[in-house]
Structure 1
Amino acid sequence: MSLATKVALPLIFSNGTLKAVDRPDGKIVYEDSGKPPNYTGRTALVSPGMGDFRHQFRFLGPKLFDAGYRVIAPDLRGHGDSDTTFKTYTVEDVAADLTSILDAEQVSENVVLMGNSFSGAVILAVAAQDPKRFAGVVPICAFTRDMPGTSFMNGISVLIFNRLWGMPVWTTYFQSLFKAPPADLPAYVSAIRNSMMSDCSHAGIFGSFMRSSKNNAWELSAKVQSPVLLLMGEKDPDFSNPLEECETVKSHLTQAKSCGIVLIEGTGHYPHVEKPEETFAQIKSFLDSL
């Protein structure tokens, strides 16, 4: 495979449409499921974590669609089908990307935001800046603030994420984040590897995301008014104490109409991939209560 050849990813939805929105320095590609036959009038905007594709919602997305939600699933800038030509990769950049997608689709109300890992800080910042637009917010195993040890990790990320060994380092670490891995994980990791090999910029981009401060998003998140469900894998290795992290975030969201905490037993950093049925049941209960 030529390193200049971009890997095209399959669609999540059988009748989905791949679209793009122009941003400074590149395009953000997203998949739109379209409106289901039992459309509720709500749109779920689902944003993946760093080093992953929109396809991390390959199980949860169709369940949301079947429940009557239009689902919009973007690839982060520098990831998947989105361009790798951007000059910066920050929480603020991705927040603006998500807002641009909603603006392009003229979706101004009844939006449910879901974001995993890096996108957790993003969706809280987005919701805080336009409260009337969002019906609910679901951070999944979210990094919402700069954690202890952030400075150390920022320093070594330059060495870890490079063109020589960034790909094997990331894919090895990525697999370690699963405690109940799905059957298709080997094929999925292969897709990540092939994408990184097709555009070696990806490894450096991952490092840029890792070094992006979440302090501004953390300050903004205190202004979130929408109901929030903090969803976490019970055994998420990215957090020394997943429940304690959720409680810290909940205590910070003082203006949210409600804030629930759910830990999915026996799962790691991707509970919506590891135990999609159980995770969806919790999310649907939250959505039905809005």
Structure 2
Amino acid sequence: MTEYLDVDGGRIAYDVTGGDGPLVVLAPGMGVVRGTFRLLAPKLAEAGYRVAALDLRGHGESSVPFASYSITDSGKDLAALIRHLGGGPAVVLGNSFSSGSAAWVAAHEPALVRAIVLEAPFARTVKMNPVMRQLARVILSVPTLWGIYYKNLLKGPKPDDFPAYLKALKANMGERGRLAAARTMGLDDKPEMEGVLTRVAQPALVVMGTRDPDFPDPRAEAEIVAGELAGKTEIVMIEGSGHYPHQEFPAETAATVLTFLNEVA
């Protein structure tokens, strides 16, 4: 059931599954809705965890527009949700864009975060070259183009319900203001991430697909991120997966995340 949390400038949609176990918060990437975790969240809940999944600003059932859509903004929204749900400390799993927000809240609100999982992480300040920036601008301006690009990010098996999910995702991104929100996130060079990873002292798990097309060398990117984190960090590569291991290989991803959760939560 969808619930809403008022935050600065709008409201965030989320849902909670599971009982009274340790809190796990799932944050999707830009251009994606919280339904992306439809295969992972039940597995974590069945294992005894209280699982909250949210829609980013401007996405899904969250309101639009917001004045800004930065990693810092999303980090503050995560902190607000954790406080709203009892203050945690929570384990925060961030995919893609939201991995930076997970690291941000761990660094700036350490009392709220027990550990983090960074999946396919865009968690560093990286300058996009002009050609790629223009291409991204075009893709994130047309729902059909975003749908084609999004589908290409999955290099492993697609879930049986993927056609219906993709249709619903494109319809949502076609609503007024939602692609603009995703475009703002996608074109952000993330300058506020400078030095953030070195301040994250909590345990961390970096999950990366070996075929993730968003990175020239997924393993190398995982090692760079892990090397900057200050706390104990583990890397797990999901063989054959693209940018969304939790959708492409949900059983393997759930097993990896649960092993980590059982150690830290």
Question: For this structure pair, what is the TM-score category when the shorter chain's length is used for normalisation?
Answer: over 0.9
* Superposed displacement of residue 60, structure 1: 0.7
1:195 match: secondary structure: helix
* Superposed displacement of residue 215, structure 1: 2.6
8 Å CA contact 1:144, 1:218 repeated in 2: no
2:199 match: secondary structure: coil
Confirm or deny that 1:113 pairs with 2:97: no
After TM superposition, the structure 1 stretch with the greater mean CA deviation from structure 2, 75-84 or 21-30, is 21-30
8 Å CA contact 1:77, 1:89 repeated in 2: yes
Structure with max Cα Rg: 1
Residue identity over aligned pairs, in percent, reads 35
Unpaired segments of 5 or more residues in structure 2? none
* Superposed displacement of residue 150, structure 1: 4.9
2:195 match: secondary structure: helix
Question: Which residue identity lines up with residue 199 of structure 2 in the other structure?
Answer: K
**1:122 equivalent in structure 2:** 101
Instruction: Name which of 171, 177, 197 aligns with 2:153.
Output: 177
Q: What is the correspondence of 1:17-96 to structure 2 with a 5 Å cutoff?
A: 17-33=1-17, 35-36=18-19, 39-40=20-21, 42-96=22-76
Q: Would you say how many aligned residue pairs link Structure 1 and Structure 2?
A: 263
With normalisation by structure 2, the TM-score equals 0.94
Confirm or deny that 1:168 pairs with 2:149: no
* Superposed displacement of residue 152, structure 1: 4.4
Q: What is the correspondence of 1:98-247 to structure 2 with a 5 Å cutoff?
A: 98-109=78-89, 111-147=90-126, 149-150=128-129, 152-162=131-141, 166-180=142-156, 181-197=158-174, 199-247=175-223
With normalisation by structure 1, the TM-score equals 0.86
> Cα–Cα, structure 1 residues 249 and 149, in superposed 2: closer, same or farther, change >3 Å?
same
> Cα–Cα, structure 1 residues 244 and 107, in superposed 2: closer, same or farther, change >3 Å?
same
> Cα–Cα, structure 1 residues 190 and 113, in superposed 2: closer, same or farther, change >3 Å?
same
